[in-house]
Structure 1
Amino acid sequence: MYELNDTYKAHLDSIAEAIQASPTLAQYLEEEEDEHYEALKAEFEPQLEAAHEQINHYSPFEIESFERYLLDDRFEGLFLPRVLGYSVLRPQINAQFFYSRQNDHFGEILSYIAGNVNFDQLRSRIGQAVQVGFALSSDIYVTGLIDEIPTKRVRQFLLSQKADNARTTEGRKQIFLRYQRQFRSRNYQYAPFPLAENELISHTDHLVNFLLYRISQEGLNNDALPGPLYDMATNEDYTGRKEIVEPILIYGAYLSPEGEALEAIKNVLSRERKAHSDRVEQQVMTFLLRLKNDPTITFGQLEELNLGELIDRTIDDDLTAYFNLTDKIHNEGYTEPEVQEAIQEEVLKQQGLSEFNENIRQTILAYFDTYAASLGTDDYNDWFAHTGKQFPIYMKIFANEQFNQELRRLAIRYTKRLIKVHTNKRGKDYRDIKKTTVATWTDYDFMTDKQLKEFFKTPRKRKKSA
């Protein structure tokens, strides 16, 4: 965990001082009415929320330190129900919908709330969060947490939050997803950064997911990410550890290291390739496919070229062959005959269903996808000319049924756009579209005559009942 920097500490201290000097707080302490605490909440929680959003935007690895700083009586428990909610949603969850590791951050915040003098005002806002945290934690952990609470009525409240349906995986899943939906518009994600070798196994998968979340969200400032990633990659204690490979790939593809940093990261990856060739090749190819197949993540020409900057081409392995080929595709163009010959040559060296070949297929599919998305409904002649030449070439090069089905999906999607606009069956546009589509799709084996007839069939409109 990264410590909270002094700037944010000073900002939080100023809010705490304002809370303690507030006439609203004085009135609440004197009269102990809920309405005065609500007024205090309305006055200061927006300030705490704004500070929380700011640190999550600019310094995400300090977020838990920020939240622990709020466990101070000067803040009167304000904003802690929201923080408790974030704490139960962030950790990594396994297939059985239990936390992969003990959620001590949740336990620490809940214990503080349970002992806070304003617990009666806070309890109405924490029930669901407690239920989720308990459902995803082990019974032993929950029992130990409750037993440490000194006040009987607080223990009874917490015991009442243990849900009966949390006994099954499906029940825990429902509890978690129902609560998570309430925070869809919130930026609360966080993963602990492995700061020691013994944390690599427990932290890295969660870290990778967090990094992918950060780079996939528009508008987030990721200037705080390169420093820790550089330190992780160049840490000599991590030499030979498979856990450093995926963070390095994210660093290279999305955060664009330059100069000495680029050379250092490149040297680390070269060291790992030489020492563990087969394993690193497999890791890189598998991770590339993950990036290309995840619709929430952008991975295209720029990211693949960036990643190629990390690859030492003097090493004779499949990674050199792969990135030499993708450099050629991206720089010269996938429609060039020389590029297509190079693709065919490399593809034939690999097993047909290898991840090497699948990655090349995905790279080419991305170009076809981008081309289809760039065309308007009046550009169908360009589409037919382009795909009429390129589809047969690549179907022959790859000889892969799944690739052909992806081309079919693209063709259907674009053609549906066309016939939604060009609806006059007697018009030249419609007749040209249908004629060319029927001829080419039959050649490509995209559809049978019967399927094509059904595809172009106009659905009958139901007659309105009298």
Structure 2
Amino acid sequence: MYELNDTYKAHLDAIADAIQASPILAQYLEEEEDEYYEALKAEFEPQIEAAHEQINHYSPFEIESFERYLLDDRFEGLFLPRVLGYSVLRPQINEHYYYTRQNDHFGQVLNYIAGNMNFDQLRSRIGQAVQVGFALSSDIYVTGLVDAIPTKRVRQFLLQQKSDDARTAAGRKQIYDRYKRQFKSRNYQYAPFPVEPVELISHTDHMVNFLLYRVSNAELNNDALPAPLFEFATNPDFAGRRELIEPVLIYGAYLTPEEETKDAIVEVMNRERKDNGDRVTSQVMNFILRLKNDPTVTFGPEQELALGTIIDRSIDDELTAYFNLTDRIHGEGYTEPEVQEAIQEEVLKHDGLSDFNENIRQSILVYFDRLATSLGTDDYNEWYSVTGKHFPVYMKIFANEQFNQELRRLAIRYTKRLIKVHTNKRGKDYRDIKKTTVSTWTDYNFMNEKQLKEFFKTPRKRKKTES
């Protein structure tokens, strides 16, 4: 976490000064009517929210410093209910739906709200956040947090937010998921980077998820990521640790290290490959597969090519073999006979269900998927030309039923698009589509005769019943 930079401090100070100078605040302080606090909120919370969104877009490592800066009486508690919500959702949780580390940021924000002179106006907006934060925290932490609050009525309010459903993991999951849905469109993610070796186990998974969220969101500016990530990757105290590998792979695949930075990252990978070859190879293969199978993560040929640039090919190992092969797939093309021969030669060296072979299968599938997505409903001849030649080739190379089922899924998806548009059963388009589909799908074992008949059968419209 970084300290808040002076530019944002000045911006927030200006908002705070405007709040204090506001005639609405003067009316509220004089008459103590809720309607004036609501008016204050309507005028100034959007300004604070805009600044919050901006800093999280450009400088995510300063976000908690930004939020702590709001714990100042000059802001009159504005925007703190939203900050409290972010604070309970941001940390990592384990499989039992407890925080993996004590959530001190939540405690600090809640403690300030509890002592704020506008607590009565804030309490109606924090109940669910408190419930979630308490559910995911240990009883000892919650008890200590509540007991430290001096005002009895505030303590009673907070204790009322403890839910009986939080006694079970299923209940905690329900509480968490229900609340998280409210923030689906919000950018509030942040994770601290490990600085000391002792933090690697507790921080790295959260850090990896945060990085993947950032790099997979094309709307976010990630210029702030490379510097701390480079510092993490080149930390000599982290040498030989398995937690080092995944963040380095993200760096290589998404953040395009250049010149001296790239050379240093290559050296890090070389050291790890030489000292812990089998483990690192397994980690790399497994992580790439995870990225390819995660629908929330952007990982395609472009990222695989970029990742290959930090893999030194002078080292004779499985990673060199893999990236030499994927370079050819993405560079020369998956439809080239020489590339297909290279794939067949390499996959025969590995177990059929190995991560190596599964990654190669996924690298090929993405091209068939892109073909099915890019072609229009009048381009079916191109679909049949490409798939008719290359489906059988890859089905033979991989001899993998799951791969065949993925091809089947793509073929069904595209063909459904075709017959939804080309509906005239006597027309040339429909007849060509049906004829080619029946012939090829039978050859590929995608469907049998009965299934094909059902696939092309037009559903009968229900007759309207007379009333």
Percent identical: 80
Following superposition, the deviation at residue 12 of structure 1 comes to 1.4
Structure 1 counterpart of 2:263:
263
Indicate conservation of the 8 Å contact 1:234/1:264, yes or no.
yes
Structure 2 counterpart of 1:201:
201
Structure 2 counterpart of 1:222:
222
Following superposition, the deviation at residue 404 of structure 1 comes to 0.6
Structure 2 counterpart of 1:313:
313
Structure 1 counterpart of 2:125:
125
Structure 1 counterpart of 2:304:
304
TM-score when normalising by structure 1 = 0.98
Following superposition, the deviation at residue 331 of structure 1 comes to 0.9
| Cα deviation 1:174-216 (Å, max 9, x = unaligned) | 1111111111121111111212222111111011111111111
Following superposition, the deviation at residue 24 of structure 1 comes to 2.3
Structure 1 counterpart of 2:58:
58
Residue segments in structure 2 that go unaligned for 5+ positions in a row: none
**Equivalent residue of 1:296, what SS?**
coil
Q: What CA distance in whole angstroms lies between the structure 2 residues aligned with 1:128 and 1:100? A: 21
Residue type at the aligned position of 1:402: Q
Residue type at the aligned position of 1:454: E
Structure 1 counterpart of 2:339:
339
**Equivalent residue of 1:265, what SS?**
helix
Residue type at the aligned position of 1:72: D
Residue type at the aligned position of 1:171: G
Query: Is residue 2:328 matched to residue 1:328?
Result: yes
> 5 Å matches for 1:62-461?
62-461=62-461
Following superposition, the deviation at residue 450 of structure 1 comes to 1.1
Residue type at the aligned position of 2:464: K
Q: What CA distance in whole angstroms lies between the structure 2 residues aligned with 1:372 and 1:44? A: 49
Q: What CA distance in whole angstroms lies between the structure 1 residues aligned with 2:339 and 2:27? A: 77
**Root-mean-square deviation (Å):** 1.1
Indicate conservation of the 8 Å contact 1:192/1:207, yes or no.
yes
Q: What CA distance in whole angstroms lies between the structure 2 residues aligned with 1:298 and 1:133? A: 31
Q: What CA distance in whole angstroms lies between the structure 2 residues aligned with 1:94 and 1:69? A: 29
Residue type at the aligned position of 1:289: L
Following superposition, the deviation at residue 35 of structure 1 comes to 2.0
Indicate conservation of the 8 Å contact 1:197/1:237, yes or no.
yes
Residue type at the aligned position of 1:419: I
Following superposition, the deviation at residue 22 of structure 1 comes to 2.3
Q: What CA distance in whole angstroms lies between the structure 1 residues aligned with 2:171 and 2:183? A: 20
Residue type at the aligned position of 2:253: A
| Cα deviation 1:156-186 (Å, max 9, x = unaligned) | 0001111111112222111111111111121
Q: How many residues align?
A: 466
Following superposition, the deviation at residue 108 of structure 1 comes to 0.7
Following superposition, the deviation at residue 55 of structure 1 comes to 0.5
| Shift >3 Å, 4+ stretches | none
| Cα deviation 1:236-295 (Å, max 9, x = unaligned) | 111111111111111111111111111111111111111110111011111101111111
Indicate conservation of the 8 Å contact 1:84/1:126, yes or no.
yes
Indicate conservation of the 8 Å contact 1:61/1:193, yes or no.
no
Q: What CA distance in whole angstroms lies between the structure 1 residues aligned with 2:345 and 2:432? A: 37
Indicate conservation of the 8 Å contact 1:192/1:203, yes or no.
yes
Following superposition, the deviation at residue 27 of structure 1 comes to 2.5
Q: What CA distance in whole angstroms lies between the structure 1 residues aligned with 2:419 and 2:31? A: 71
**Equivalent residue of 2:220, what SS?**
coil
**Equivalent residue of 2:348, what SS?**
helix
Q: What CA distance in whole angstroms lies between the structure 1 residues aligned with 2:32 and 2:465? A: 66
Residue segments in structure 1 that go unaligned for 5+ positions in a row: none
Structure 1 counterpart of 2:15:
15
Indicate conservation of the 8 Å contact 1:234/1:268, yes or no.
yes
